Structure 1
Amino acid sequence: MPQLVEAKGWEDDWTGTKDAAARRRMQTRLNTRAYRKRKSQATAGALIRSEPLVECWNNEQQSVSTVPASRIKQLYNARNPLLPKNLREEHFEIVFPLCPDHLITLLQFNSLRASAVNQTLISGILVTLLDCNGDEEIMHPELLPPALLPTALQQTVPHGSWIDLFPSPEGRDRLIQATGTFDEDELWADCIGGLYEGFPDDEIERRGMIAWSPPWHISGWEMSEGFLKKWGWLVKGLPGLLEATNRWRMERGEEPLVDDECARHTTA
């Protein structure tokens, strides 16, 4: 009988008992026993469900499987690792210092970052009036490094905003005066375009500008030899840039560049 499932002996059989009080006592005892059993089973089930799982290597299936943490010692011994060595460890052969080829893209990234710094410095300093014919006004010039202060030509002649980032007043004026006689996109590509256009490493090495120190001062910049030969008209006689370039080159033990290497710029 289902009512006697929890009965342990004849003393728990209440079916033949005529005394109502005695019958209720036996029924209560059986019900209490059944309740405690169900509660114990539920608690044990909860413990099993909450037991953490561990990833282990299954040699037969040659794959990773998860097993309860309590079964680890039953399934695996100390001589058999939970995971094979080739899954637990991964070795990378990296040799330092890196070869110079790894630095090429980093150098161009530094030039891009330096330009972004100068852009941040001049943002909010140069304000264009609402009048379409209005010139730029300098707001709070004391907050701007002297080398980035707009020249009279910058304030009176429309020009590309990228020119304002060049930390040389004379260089900015030269670019404004030469507007329309050179390819602006090509100049940009030769400076840092390799980051976007995927130039070969050996070609990038012959291009561009390098920023070594605070970008708002010309002394922190260096020209590559290829840049000087191609864009020599821009930098020929420019105060500070060739000197800064040679200072950085000599620190690396390289020969200085000379003014005679500058290319002549001819207009179309």
Structure 2
Amino acid sequence: MQFNGVRALGTLGSIIGLSSDNVMDDDAALSPFSSYTYSAQNIRVPHFRLAKSLPPTALQRSIPHHPWIDILPYPQIRDNLLRLESGVSTTMEKRQYDADSLCHWMVGLDTCQKESGLILWGDPWDLASWEVTAEFLNEWGWTLEGCVDLFRSTDYWRARRGERPLFRMGH
């Protein structure tokens, strides 16, 4: 599960044109999407079509941020984090978070968690391929505000295993 999550985020980074030249390790790195030089041609599209969830959101294009946010599969999660970091959020303005800790929780690298926070069951660009675990929801649920597609796909994958839904949404 951990390898799937790490591989998926790496794949998404490659698709959107982020190089692997340690840009993620540079705390001062700025997303290429938050600059005036961004264009749709910056996105690398392999043999499959670029999913509608991958292009940068309006907030990604307007708020300077670290490129790690750009590789997250859900636009709503990216925007939730950007609203918090920029102070634009009204519901999360007093919340603090550690980006490294959040990343570790997403892929199951935090020593206190039992499983990966996000589980991938298919292609990383397909939002229906992702599931969030109850453990991640308890620890980092605020990052998922408004992620209806993730709620639906989570309940779908849980139902396939005969587990109760986490979100109780219609499909």
Q: Do both proteins adopt the same fold according to a TM-score greater than 0.5, normalized to the shorter chain?
A: yes
Paired with 2:107 and 2:148, the residues of 1 have a C-alpha distance of 23
Query: Offset at 1:219?
Result: 1.0
For 1:1-268, list aligned pairs within 5 A. Answer: 107-123=1-17, 128=32, 134-139=36-41, 143=45, 144-179=50-85, 181-194=96-109, 199=111, 203-205=113-115, 207-258=116-167
Q: For the residues of structure 2 that align with 1:229 and 1:139, how far apart are their CA atoms?
A: 38
Residue by residue, what CA displacement relative to the aligned partner does 1:190-211 show, whole Å, maximum 9, x if unpaired? 11252xx6x26xx332x51111
3-state SS of 1:139 partner: helix
Report Cα offsets for 1:76-129 as digits up to 9, x if no partner: xxxxxxxxxxxxxxxxxxxxxxxxxxxxxxx1111111111111111179x949
Q: TM-score, normalised by structure 2?
A: 0.72
Change (3 A) 1:124 1:163: closer
Question: 1:212: how far off?
Answer: 0.7
What secondary structure does 2:131 align onto? strand
Q: For the Cα contact (< 8 Å) 1:135–1:155, is it kept in 2?
A: no
Q: Residues 253 and 149 (structure 1 numbering): CA distance in 2 closer, same or farther, change over 3 Å?
A: same
For 1:229, give the aligned amino acid.
N
Residues 218-242 of structure 1 deviation map (CA, whole Å, 9 limit, x = unaligned): 2111111010111111113312001
Let me know the Cα RMSD of the aligned residues: 2.7
**Does structure 2 retain, via aligned residues, the 8 Å contact 1:137–1:155?**
no
C-alpha separation between the residues in 1 aligned to 2:118 and 2:134? 10
> Which structure has the highest strand share of the two?
1
- What are the ranges of 5 or more consecutive residues in structure 2 without an aligned counterpart? 20-30, 87-95
Task: Report how far residue 175 of structure 1 moved.
Answer: 1.3
Checking the alignment, whether the CA contact within 8 Å between 1:167 and 1:218 is kept in structure 2 is yes
Cα distance in structure 2, aligned partners of 1:137 and 1:243: 32
Q: Using the TM superposition, give the Cα deviation of residue 253 of structure 1 relative to its aligned residue in structure 2, in angstroms.
A: 0.7
Contact 2:16 2:44 (C-alpha < 8 Å) held by counterparts: no
SS in 2 for 1:245: helix
Aligned to 1:57: none
> Residue 239 and residue 137 in structure 1: after superposition, are their counterparts in 2 closer, same or farther (change >3 A)?
same
Gaps of 5+ in 1: 1-106, 260-268
User: Residue 39 of structure 2 aligns to a residue in which SS?
Assistant: strand
Closer/same/farther in 2, CA of residues 192 and 154 from structure 1, 3 Å limit: same
In the alignment, which residue of structure 2 is the partner of 1:6? Answer: none
Larger proportion of helix: 1
